[in-house]
Amino acid sequence: MKDYRLNRLFNSKSGNCFDVAIDHGFFNEYGFLQGIENISKAVDILINAAPDAIQLTVGQAHYLQSVPGRQKPSLVLRTDVANVYGKELPRALFSRMIENPVEQALRLDATCVVVNLFSIPGEPEVTDQCIRNILKIKPVCEQYAMPLMIEPLVFRPNSEAGGYMVNGDPEKIIPLVRQGVELGADIIKADPTDDVDQYYRVVETAGRIPVLVRGGGKASDREILDRTYGLMQQGVKGIVYGRNVIQHANPAGMTKALMAIVHEGAKPADVIDYINN
């Protein structure tokens, strides 16, 4: 049955997936709300743009799942909440999982659940919490045949970068990705490496587990399209982008452009007009 849910997540023709993440309100950061202040409007825009999936929380999933009809994106349910993204970190950091996450996902008709695996300099306790979350959710995912997406996320030191700044060093990303696979991921959602041409090493480390690449911070249109195209040439099975879609002046056009790259192998020059029109 796990494969049946994955069939709803990955495109039947390309075998790839474009998941738009708009679960940022879970993390209590004002800057994360740009573009999703009105979550109902944001979901409607994305449904019309038709990505493969939309990533939401338990409190917002109904905006997607209450829409009638079969032709709408699948639900990926965020299962953990954390306070690690601010420019100034609080005295005590945490990553906490919602109660009975898989049962809640089943009631919401989700195709997948997602949980973080943080690596934050000087904060091993947060990594420990993440591992405990994964160890707790994995057996229940197996019991109910719910696919588990693990999100390995390596941070740069907060004193150096200030806030939600990821580390693109493959020597940091690769072992955390492998740990996620070892812990039982059915899908890996990982950051791009600083040198995009090195991403094949992440895919190789994940083995048979499909890798979806995170979008990270806001970037220019051409940078996003070029990076996505380069990543797709190295064996990734898709992307999970949030702010680079929903904070864009033309979210529907950006979605269309990225879908063409992910599912049709289109080149950036061929899809830039989707954004500009």
CA–CA separation, 222 and 157 (whole Å): 28
Top-confidence residue, 275 or 187: 187
According to the model, what pLDDT value does residue 59 have? Answer: 97
CA–CA separation, 24 and 28 (whole Å): 8
According to the model, what pLDDT value does residue 219 have? Answer: 76
Which token pair is 192? 């791009």
Q: Which residues of 41-78 are buried (b: 16+ CB within 10 A; e: fewer)?
A: ebbebbbebebbbbbbbbebbebbbeeeeeebbbbbbb
CA–CA separation, 200 and 235 (whole Å): 7
Q: For residue 92, count other CB atoms closer than 10 A to its CB.
A: 8
Tens digits of residue pLDDT in 197-236 = 999 999 999 999 999 999 866 778 899 999 999 999 999 9
Say which residues have a Cβ less than 8 Å from residue 164's Cβ, sequence separation at least 6: 29, 85, 86, 155, 217
According to the model, what pLDDT value does residue 162 have? Answer: 62
What's the one-letter identity of residue 258?
L
Tens digits of residue pLDDT in 124-159 = 999 999 999 999 999 999 999 999 999 999 999 877
According to the model, what pLDDT value does residue 163 have? Answer: 65
According to the model, what pLDDT value does residue 87 have? Answer: 82
11 has a pLDDT exceeding 70: yes
